[in-house]
Chain A
Amino acid sequence: MMCSEREAQLNEYVDGMLAAEARALVETHLAVCAGCREAVAELRALVDGARGLPRAIEPTSELWTGIAGRIGKGERGKGKRWWRGALAAAAALIMGFAIYRLLPSSAVFYGPEVDGWAAAQIDYARATDELAGALALERDRLEPSTVALLERNLGVIDAALRESRDALTRDPGNVELRALFAAAARQKVELLRWATRAAT
C-alpha cells in the first residue's frame, strides 16, 4: 500500500518531473517503503502500457462518405457551425429565463429551497461558463488587440458584477440591485456571444 500522502510526489517521480533534491528524497523513502516501491512499479507499468497502446483504431463504419457529403456542400469558409449558433441561442435562452426568474413572482416556482435569485445566478454562471469555455478554445483565432480589448471589457463587467453581488449580499431583497446585476450579466453574455462568433 502506497503512503497516501505521497501520491502526487510518486506520480511526479515516475513522470520525471521532480528536481534532483526532491527525487533523492523520494528514492531515500523508496529504499525503506515496500508499499511505495510497489506503487512506483505499478505506475511505471501503467504509463508504459498507455504509451504502448495502438496509436490508431480504424472506425467500424466508412466515414468518408458523410464527410465528403458535408464538404461537398461547401462547409469550408462558412465558419458558422450550427452548434455555435445553438450555443449562443441556448445562452440567450438561459439568460432570458434567468432574468425572468429575477422577478419577485418567480419565487412561486422555486419555493424556499432554491429561490429565483439563486436559480438565476446558477443559470448565469452556466451560460457564461459555457461561452467562456468555448471562447477559450478559439481565442487564438482572434487578433491579439481584440483579445486585449475583450479582456478589458470583461474585466469592467466582472467588476460591476462583483459590486452588484456584494451589494445583494448585504441587501438580498433589493429589486433594483437585482436589475443591475441582471443588466451586467446580460452584457457579459452578449459580449461573450459576440466574441465566440467573431472567433469562428
Chain B
Amino acid sequence: MTKPDHLNNDLLIRAIDDELPESEMIRVELHLADCEQCRRAYNELRSLTLDLESFLATIPAQHSPAERAAFEARLEVPPLVPVPRVRQWQPVAWGLALAASLTFGVFVAPHVWRSSKSPAVRAPEAQSNAFEVAGELFSPLPYSNPDLPIGAPHIVRMQVPVSSLSDAGIVFEPVSNQTLTADSSVLADVLLGMDGQPLGVHVLGVE
C-alpha cells in the first residue's frame, strides 16, 4: 500500500470514537487489518485516549455521605401533605370579608339584628370531614396550610358573606321564600390558622 492510501489522524480518531458512518468504519477496519503503519498509529492514538480517561479518573474527588445528605437538604423538600395552592384572590377575599364583617358586627349588626326575626335559610349540615376544636365542629377551608399545628386556636365570631362561603363549597338550604343573596351574611365562628389564614368555619345559622 502506498503512502497516499494511509488513513489520516482524523479518520483514525473518529474510528476510535465511533463517530464514523458504518460504511466508513468498515473501510477503516479493512485498511487497518492490512496496514501495519496505520495500525500502529491507531494503537498510539487509542493508548493516548485511554491515558486521558485514566488521567480524568484519577483526579481526586472524595465524596462523603454527609455531603450527599447536605445536598439532599438543599433540594426543595415537598411537604409530606400537599399544601393547597389557592388562587391569589381567595385569602385576600377572606381577609376583606373578615375586616368588613368585623366592621359590620361592631357598628351595624346590633341595630339590624333586633329587627330581624324570621330565618331565611337553614345552616348547612356538618361536613363529613369536619374537625373539632375547642368543642366546636368546623368545616375545613382550603386556605390555610394544613401542616401548621392547630394549637392556640384563634376563633373569631363574625358575619361572613355567603359568597365567601359558597366559594369554599358551603351552601345553604332555603327554608322559606326568602332566599339569601350573594351579598347576604351569616353569623359564623371562623377558626384562624397559625398563619392567619382561615382554617375552618362553623356556621352558627341565621337568627
A and B held together in a complex = no
Interface set of B (CB-CB < 8 Å, partner A): none
Interface set of A (CB-CB < 8 Å, partner B): none
